[in-house]
A = this chain, B = another copy of it.
Amino acid sequence: MILVKIYVTLKDSVVDVQGEAIKDATHTMGYPNVSEVRMGKYFELKFDDNAEHLEQDVDEICDGLLANPNIESYRYEIAEEA
């Protein structure tokens, strides 16, 4: 079993409405020192061991599905699993 951790984040040029709302909420909660919040997505995908072109597959899944290239970018880490 192979575990792939994928992080999808909004490109810097795109306003993050949810992040902004969360930042405001942290201030109301009494944490004025939070100066920026960006919200992204985090995925854990498990692959059966026999994945041959793992990196290529992951790239394709990210480009085609998990991230929207117009507004998002992604990175990932591959970890073996028991």
By a beta-carbon cutoff of 8 Å, the part of chain A in contact with chain B is: 1, 7-9, 19, 22, 25-26, 29, 31, 33-48, 50-51, 57, 60-61, 64-66
The one of B1, B8, B36, B42 in contact with A46, judged by C-beta atoms closer than 8 angstroms, is B36
Q: Given that A40-B44, A41-B39 are contacting pairs, would A61 and B26 also be in contact in the complex, using a CB cutoff of 8 Å?
A: yes
Beyond A29-B61, A33-B47, A40-B43: 13 further Cβ-contacts under 8 Å?
Answer: A26-B45, A29-B65, A31-B60, A33-B51, A34-B46, A34-B47, A35-B47, A36-B44, A36-B46, A38-B43, A38-B44, A39-B43, A41-B42
- Cα–Cα distance between A9 and B39 once the two chains are bound (Å): 14
